[in-house]
Each structure stands twice: as structure tokens, then as C-alpha cells.
């Protein structure tokens, strides 16, 4: 039987479309347990590659013949060899091109909706990392919010849409992934914006993103309004776009709230976090559509693969928004924290411009799930 190549984009479409897929992951058990491809219709089996060097005969009874089979490893090489062994046993099988590294870097654009006067808003879903970034397009101009380091995918998409990138924003200084905002600005001549309270140690020039800023995109009334909302970082800033959408950065997620400890100041920032969520956000319109910078689990994806929910619904259903006692809230956000992101201090320094790692090192720094939320 044949061995096929499946790209990260093809795998992403299968996840978003909830297509049945049997995934044989041949990485070490610890790597698999920490981070894997997830989906509603995915069945997993983890058998390390070194356990298969003598053959795959003993695996055959565990592999369903009626499902599409995808073999996954870290970089591709091991999965190709295992796929060939399975093919020799009579199975039609695919391997993931580029392995989990390629999966981590794929961005899937999803249209969120139309804006007034003809604009559009797109969400870029990074399934392999749980990162969410955004592009606003209006009258041939574009703005990007919370871009990843995979800058080419944004540049190509904007070109496809016939839009010139004029502004690039980061809602805060990221600690779980390397921002592509500054690089995009340098390549396009766009203005790069960053909250000044998060930028005290940066080594580059930037536009100050402060409460009350309003930036026009295109020639229409479409604007991005900055809303200062500290808590995850001291400078965390939200955006209200077109009076319809609330981009919350890492302050508020669909199923959780942002962690306040990544700069080592959890005790100081818990009060800011509560103020942002329970006062600033509570005062906003309930029908604003919340668009966060991350998602934690596959269940947060909507039917079209997007991640969004109305603010009023989150105040009704998100446990982090419904803790009346402040002491209980403080306990939740200080005692229910996941491990800190992989290489988060090095990522922060990269985003400050203090260090410039090689591309392969940047990949290694980002490997693994995002850990920006309180559990």
C-alpha cells in the first residue's frame, strides 16, 4: 500500500471539520503527554519510535483499518520510517510533513465577520500552540493584532486580499510565543504599537498604545480603540473593534482567565486582574464578541473553527468571572496556575529585543502548549 504526505494545513482542516483520524504518535511518552494534536474525532495511540525498531507487527491489532491513519513525530523522519513499515504490512497510511514543528507553526485563517462600511475581520488560529491573532481589513488597508513569528503567512494573506499593512499591535509583551509584530512593521513600513508599561525594557522604538487611542483603518469609520486592562501583564491592553468585537489579549479567555504571574508579580497584579475583569469589562456592552489571544482546549473552537463568544455569555458561564469573594478569587489565580511556558523568560527577552535567537532556536523555545490561563 502507499505512503502519503499530509501537510499541517491538511491536518488542521481535518481537525476543524471533525473528520475521523487515527493518530499514531511515535514521540517519547513525556513529549506526547505534554503536547499533542487534539481534535473531537481523533483517536490516539502513542508508541515511541525506539519501541518499533524491530517492526510494527504487534501494533497491527491496535490500528483500526477503517480510519485514516496519520503517523506523527517531532520533525518527520521517524514518522516516515514507521509509515513505510505500516505500508509494508498492507495499510494505507500518511505521515505529517515537518512533524510537530510544522504543526506548531501552521496558522489557519477564519473569517470572523464583516465590519461596517465593507471591512472584514479575520482570526488566525494556531491549532498547534493555541495562539490566536487577528487581521482587520478595510478599504485596502490592514491592521494585525498579536501576530506570531510566522510573518510570511500574514504578508501573503494581506497581499491576497489586496490590503497594505499599516498598523501592527501587540496587546501585551508576550511570554509564551515570539511576536512577529516588529518584524512585520519593519518589512512593510507599518507602525508598531505596544503598551508602554510593558515596554520599559525594550531596545527598539515603538508607538505607545495607551488608553483612549483610536487608530483608523482605511478611509471608513472602522477604528481600533485601545482599552487599558492590566492583570496578565501590567500593560495588558484590550481592543474594541468597530463597536462589535472585544479583543481581550490574555486577560479573558472563553473558558478561563489570564494568569498574573509571568513577570513574577502575581501578588501585585491579582487586584489589577480583578479590576479589569469585574469592573472594566463588566461596564462594556454584553453583546460584544470576545476574541482572545489564546485558547486552551479544542472544545473552545466553534463549528467553523473560530474561537469567540459574547461577553454577556462569558459573564454567565465563565467561572473566573463569577467569584464574588475577593479572597476566593485571589486564591484561584494564585493556586491554580499551570507550569510556566517553555522558555518563557527567553521569549520575553526576545520580544524586548534584548536577544535575537536563530530561527531553529526560536522553534525550540516555542515547542509545547501555551500556558497563559488560570486552570
Instruction: Give me the CATH number covering residue 83.
Output: 3.40.250.10
- Do residue 74 and residue 118 come from a single domain? no
Q: 303 and 283, same structural domain?
A: yes
Task: Kindly tell me the burial class for residue 113, based on how many C-beta atoms sit within 10 Å of its own C-beta (0-12, 13-18, 19 or more).
Answer: middle
- DSSP H helical segments within the chain, as ranges? 8-16, 29-34, 77-88, 99-105, 151-160, 181-188, 266-275, 311-317, 326-335, 344-352, 359-366
Count of domains observed in the chain = 2
Residue listed under C-alpha cell 469567540: 308
262 and 357, same structural domain? yes
Closest of 204, 230, 191 to residue 349, by C-alpha: 204
Catalytic-role residue among 3, 15, 73, 100: 73
What's the pLDDT at 268?
Answer: 66
Residues 76, 119 within the same domain:
no
Using CA atoms, how far apart are residues 42 and 273, in angstroms rounded to an integer? 36
Phi, psi torsion values for 215, nearest 5 degrees: -120, 125
Nearest C-alpha neighbor of 27 from the set 77, 68, 65: 77
Residues 59 and 87 both lie in one domain: yes
Q: Looking at the structure, do residues 141 and 86 belong to the same domain, yes or no?
A: no
Residues 259, 374 contacting (CB under 8 angstroms):
yes
Q: What sign does the dihedral 336-316-131-72 (CA atoms) show?
A: positive
Pair 297, 190 in one domain: yes
Does residue 319 lie in a domain region?
Answer: yes
Which of 75, 102, 129 represents a domain boundary (last residue)?
102
* 154 and 63 assigned to the same domain: no
Q: What is the mean pLDDT of each run of 10 residues along the chain (375 residues)?
A: 92 93 96 92 95 92 92 96 95 96 95 91 95 95 96 98 97 93 97 95 94 81 79 89 93 89 62 91 96 92 95 96 91 74 85 94 83 67
Out of 102, 129, 148, pick the residue that ends a domain.
102
Q: Is residue 131 annotated as part of the catalytic site, yes or no?
A: no
The whole-angstrom separation of Cα 147 and Cα 200 is: 21
Residues 216 and 346 both lie in one domain: yes
Residues 114, 233: one domain?
yes
Closest CA to 171 of 103, 240, 119: 240
Strands, E assignment, 97-230: 108-114, 120-126, 131-138, 141-145, 164-169, 191-194, 207-208, 214-216, 223-228
Residue 178 in domain: yes
51, 68, 102 — which closes off a domain? 102
Q: Please give the biggest Cα pair distance in the chain.
A: 65
- Answer whether 0.75 is exceeded by the pTM: yes
What is the layout of strands, in order, in the sheet containing 237-241? 214-216, 223-228, 237-241, 245-249, 289-292, 309-310
| pLDDT value of position 126 | 96
- The answer to whether residues 24 and 71 belong to one domain is yes
375 in a structural domain: no
Domain residues for the domain of 335 are 107-366
Q: What is the dihedral of CA 243, 245, 251, 252, to 10 degrees?
A: 120
Same domain for 178 and 50, yes or no, is no
Q: What pLDDT sits at residue 297? A: 87
The residue whose grid cell reads 506548531 is: 104
**The three grid cell numbers given for residue 73, joined into one nine-digit string:** 513525530
Is 126 part of a structural domain of the chain? Answer: yes
> Is 372 a member of any domain?
no
Amino acid at each position: 500500500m502507499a505512503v502519503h504526505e499530509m501537510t499541517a494545513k491538511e491536518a488542521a482542516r481535518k481537525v476543524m471539520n471533525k473528520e475521523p483520524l487515527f493518530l499514531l504518535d511515535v514521540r517519547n511518552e513525556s513529549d506526547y503527554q505534554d503536547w499533542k494534536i487534539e481534535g473531537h474525532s481523533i483517536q490516539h495511540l502513542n508508541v515511541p519510535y525506539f519501541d518499533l525498531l524491530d517492526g510494527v507487527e504487534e501494533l497491527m491489532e491496535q490500528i483500526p483499518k477503517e480510519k485514516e491513519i496519520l503517523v506523527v513525530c517531532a520533525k518527520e523522519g521517524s514518522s516516515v520510517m514507521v509509515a513505510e513499515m505500516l505500508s509494508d504490512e498492507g495499510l494505507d497510511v500518511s505521515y505529517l510533513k515537518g512533524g510537530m514543528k510544522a504543526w506548531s507553526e501552521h496558522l489557519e485563517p477564519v473569517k470572523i465577520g464583516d465590519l461596517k462600511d465593507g471591512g472584514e475581520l479575520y482570526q488566525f488560529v494556531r491549532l498547534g500552540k493555541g495562539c490566536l491573532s487577528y487581521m482587520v481589513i478595510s478599504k485596502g488597508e490592514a491592521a494585525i493584532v498579536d501576530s506570531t513569528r510566522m510573518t510570511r503567512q500574514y504578508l501573503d494573506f494581506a497581499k491576497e486580499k489586496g490590503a497594505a499593512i499599516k498598523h501592527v499591535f501587540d496587546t501585551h509583551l508576550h511570554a509564551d510565543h515570539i511576536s512577529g509584530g516588529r518584524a512585520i512593521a519593519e518589512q512593510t513600513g507599518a507602525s508598531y504599537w505596544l503598551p508602554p508599561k510593558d515596554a520599559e525594557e525594550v531596545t527598539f522604538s515603538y508607538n505607545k498604545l495607551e488608553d483612549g487611542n483610536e487608530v483608523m483603518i482605511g478611509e471608513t469609520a472602522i477604528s481600533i480603540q485601545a482599552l487599558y486592562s492590566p492583570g496578565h501583564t501590567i500593560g495588558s491592553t484590550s481592543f474594541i473593534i468597530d463597536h462589535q468585537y472585544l479583543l481581550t489579549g490574555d486577560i479573558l479567555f472563553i473558558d478561563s482567565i489570564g494568569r498574573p504571574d509571568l513577570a513574577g508579580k502575581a501578588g501585585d497584579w491579582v487586584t489589577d486582574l480583578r479590576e479589569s475583569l469585574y469592573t472594566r469589562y463588566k461596564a462594556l456592552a454584553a453583546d460584544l464578541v470576545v476574541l482572545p489571544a489564546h485558547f486552551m482546549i479544542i472544545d473552545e473552537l466553534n463549528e467553523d473553527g473560530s474561537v469567540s463568544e459574547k461577553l454577556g455569555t462569558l459573564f454567565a458561564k465563565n467561572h473566573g468571572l463569577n467569584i464574588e469573594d475577593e479572597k476566593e478569587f485571589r486564591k484561584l489565580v494564585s493556586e491554580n496556575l499551570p507550569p510556566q511556558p517553555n522558555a518563557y523568560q527567553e521569549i520575553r527577552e526576545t520580544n524586548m529585543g534584548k536577544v535575537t535567537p536563530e530561527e531553529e532556536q526560536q522553534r525550540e523555545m516555542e515547542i509545547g502548549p501555551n500556558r497563559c490561563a488560570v486552570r
